[in-house]
Structure 1
Amino acid sequence: MTTTYIPHMISFKKITFVILSIFSTLFFSQKRNEPVNLQIKGDFTHTSTSVVFPALWSDFQRETITSYDIQNKHVVVSYVQQNSKKSKTVLTLYLYPKKSVDNQLLRDEFAVYETVLNQNSNKSVDLKPMFGSSSNDKVKVHYLYSIFDHAMGERDFFKGVKYTNKKSLLAIYECGGWGFKIRVSSDDMTSDQLAELKNKTEVYFGLLDIASKKSLPISNTPAIILSPVIKRDSMMINSVIAAAHAKIEWLGKNSEKKELLTGFNDMNIESEVYSIQKMIEFYKTHEKDGPMHADTKKYFDEMIRIADHGKIKDYLYDKYNRLIQYDEGEAKKDEYLQFKTDKNITENTNEIFYKLYYIIE
């Protein structure tokens, strides 16, 4: 694979530092007071991306088109394949504009969905994350997906809520200034069939075309959001800034231009490892420069113990609750939990202190 070094990715002079207490994704479009089901017969063309949603596709009948904004930029389109009276597959596509994109967004969206799904299920749902990418000569899209068993609650006149076992799929994609998700729930499809349907959906509805419509402004250096937690002293602030610089540097040296156009690919564990190493290096260099808060010293004492024992990747797997690419992570999970106990590693090390982000014009 050819990699492209992009000098602007490590030009720190242009970096904007913003301290915010809440990290959020905003949407461009003027929202409706409430969602509206569009009454459209025949093909529906999403004007902003040129994606066509036909009334019938691959034995799936389009059931609803829900619009969340006046310009119909943010839409949810649902298809149903009715195999029998009691057996069906529901395919739902989400397409929406973004006002900003940060390196944690893909992970955050996946984690929120898992939380909500478990809150609305009668038993625990395990969304084991899997990682994928799709590319052409212009863009490369990274994504998170999961195929899982789920007891879906449906209204029932006699039981109130009736839970039915389903095989389900969720896929969330980094498409630059556009958000795209696939959600499938089926009574009779196998895991392999769901994966095949995901692949067909990506191709037919033009995943890579969506990603090319609104690229990230990589001619500018990504800005940095700093968590208010780090304001306790200058050592914490400057160490975290050093970590953010290091991550930007790693991305510039190790990413293809066509993948930087669509997202940060934060699932790649190596950028996080490099960032942590540089943060610790900064701390050790400046440890004696002046007084620091007790919590800062405690944090770095723990991080240094993690690094000295060769546990940075295990730490990251635990910190991000599996939402990072580390093939050995699950097998070494219990070993790391024991290490945390033995070496007195607290949950404070799992705080997220910064995010890289772009404002989408």
Structure 2
Amino acid sequence: MNKNLIIHVLFLCFLYSCHSQAGLDEACWTEPTQKMVINSQDVKFAFRWKGTHYNRGGEAFLPNNYSILCNKSKPTGSSDRYSFLLFDADMGPALSPSETNGYFKVNDDVDLLVSMVTNYGSETRLLPVKYEDNLIMDIPKLPVGSNLVSSSPAFNSKVGFSLLLRRDILGGAVTIPGNLLIATLYTVDYNFIPRPPRPDKPLAMMMTSPMGIVIPVLVECNINNGNAINIEFGRMVVNSIYDVPANYQYSQHAPLTIKCNSRLNQDAAIQLTSAVTSFSSDLIATSNKDLGVAVFHRGQLMKPYQPSPVKLVNGEALEEITLSPVKRKGVKLDGGEFTASATVVVTLM
């Protein structure tokens, strides 16, 4: 009676032991599942236009090396130093294939591509991958055993990502949600035959940080849609031209419509860049050495290279400048046509 009872207990323990390994045959995993967070430090788009890329090839996800657990039922592979892991990876359920090959739509603003380099460094795979894609990476040689503690592949130089603007950006930044699942990685022993099924537990999950990602986009502002401002002073009587900056009968007014690609409410400034006259650094030089042009903004003399304040509301401002001819004091002007040029730029304060 006692003998039968002992056999019965041992049999139950054996069944329990087998059940504990089910779904993790020849696999490596983490418990709890390791999160590899996309490295968004210093990520920015150089331009705001649709099709602009940002690429990161190293330190793309952090941490890039960590402890893992592995099961190995028998020796495999010819290497004395390494065991080789074969990857299977799914993209997160919130991501959908983009119209651009290899990319996945994150939101209306941006697409994402994740790449991984095979162990031999000569080929790149784009996620998602299946076993038949042969995405292989090495770890330290595993002995035979269960729940073996090892180190993950060194992902620092083998994983990269690219971001792609899906449309022209009218704001100053692109945002990506926090805790967004990008991809889930599974691994089994590459050298084990027949090929094991995909494990029940993943090696890692690629994620965004809980705070999400804010990617700056260059703020661009233009004046009058970038069109040249042409001023015609018309016919003037030489003796009637003032020798001091003033608003008088020969003054001409020019509207400035400022529009930015960000709907920001912010203090800004407009500034003249031009050559200046030899007789006053406050005046724009003309083709007549004895004649300059004064520019006024909001009733104040706007000197070249000196900022004059404006206020952007929803990324726009409507301003006006006044241009007045000014002659050199004490000289008699020669008649004839003259030309002058200057550039007005917008700067954010």
Pairwise same-fold verdict (TM > 0.5): no
Greater share of strand: 2
Q: TM-score, normalised by structure 2?
A: 0.25
Greater relative contact order (CA < 8 Å, ≥ 6 in sequence): 1
Greater share of helix: 1
Q: TM-score, normalised by structure 1?
A: 0.24
Larger Rg: 2
